[in-house]
Structure 1
């Protein structure tokens, strides 16, 4: 982040600089706590010049959120190679990298912040969820998901969000354990759905058939098999 250095920039270059500065500040503290004066100082420009590029903090926050949402959506992209469990674990690691790096901003977005409730913010949040949904379906090699599969995938995405928020509130559970747990949660949701539906059962069978010994899902199955039965 630049501090106190003045140089002439083109309009778009200056806008992108301000978005980057704002995003860094919002990543450290809730956007409600960051002032335009702080953003201007960090960017090395005057307060009026910030307003020349953005009408107010809300519009700057939305622009920073748009960049962050693009970044977060990209965390779900993964080459369609190898066992699903290993792929999902890499996705969760990148997801929690983002949550770790942008904690206050992520929390403000999901729990309440200066732009929460606006049509722009809601659309950006929905775009991240939809991108995640499409990517998970691609991992499963499914183009037209049945209703139960859509329910499983969208429920799991919501679970990942809520898990990340709870983790940020004190970080009382080791992050790595949560990443693995969420992969297990996905398989568990699939398994429960499969118990009601033959099509889901066949999908679960294909997923498990491609797992390798010692992988995340293989480890889950071993743990379940070792649980005592009353």
Structure 2
């Protein structure tokens, strides 16, 4: 009978393991509440060994923050096929999947957590917002947006972020409704911008012509008409 030989992890493999363990713990509790001892225990190693790979909790937290930020930024990637409203709805569903699965970690990511004020944390948060901005512009088929449209897209990204943070505090509104609402918020914001800015209107008209009657954009128009009746 042969016995398996346990392979020794390389330095990078051990670092990635610790980051994964930390993210799992941060998904359930705020990083402030998770100790190095807990991370070491969950990883099956000693506390001093954790410090061998990371100088302190802050450096481990920032490494975990980086992985979470990359994951969250990827949620905005979507094939450029089909109506814009349907694409944005799929993006919001993936976004809220992340929020739902990593509640405390998401809050820590967007509010700074133990790394609040650090240049690393601020840069990572900004990278998520910028990645989202670039992806939304790509769906609008625009590289250099008019000033009003840039304001709309960046404002909407901030709205999605704040909505998710508020939703985590009690989850009083079904997330499926919020996902649709945020897509309709986007439609309302760009409609206001287009009504007041010719260049924005010219860019958006071709996209909106492709929206189906049963999509989230058309549903918003129907609801507004009924509201005004």
- CA distance in 2 between counterparts of 1:115 and 1:177 reads 32
Matches for 1:174-213 after TM superposition, within 5 Å: 174-213=174-213
The 8 Å contact of residues 109 and 116 in structure 1, kept in 2 or not, is answered as no
The 8 Å contact of residues 21 and 42 in structure 1, kept in 2 or not, is answered as yes
- CA distance in 2 between counterparts of 1:39 and 1:123 reads 25
The 8 Å contact of residues 66 and 124 in structure 1, kept in 2 or not, is answered as yes
CA displacement at 1:48 relative to structure 2: 0.2
What RMSD, in angstroms, separates the aligned Cα atoms of the two structures? Answer: 1.1
CA displacement at 1:7 relative to structure 2: 5.8
Structure 2 portions without partners, runs of 5+: 1-5
SS at 2:115's partner residue? Answer: coil
- CA distance in 2 between counterparts of 1:191 and 1:162 reads 21
SS at 2:227's partner residue? Answer: coil
Match in the other structure for 1:104: 104
Matches for 1:50-199 after TM superposition, within 5 Å: 50-199=50-199
CA displacement at 1:11 relative to structure 2: 0.5
TM-score by length of 1: 0.95
Please list the CA deviations of residues 177-227 of structure 1 after superposition, one character each: whole Å capped at 9, or x if unmatched: 000000000000001111211112223322220101201111111111211
- CA distance in 1 between counterparts of 2:138 and 2:159 reads 19
Please list the CA deviations of residues 85-132 of structure 1 after superposition, one character each: whole Å capped at 9, or x if unmatched: 000000000000000011001112223410111000000000000000
Match in the other structure for 1:48: 48
- CA distance in 2 between counterparts of 1:7 and 1:50 reads 18
- CA distance in 2 between counterparts of 1:120 and 1:111 reads 13
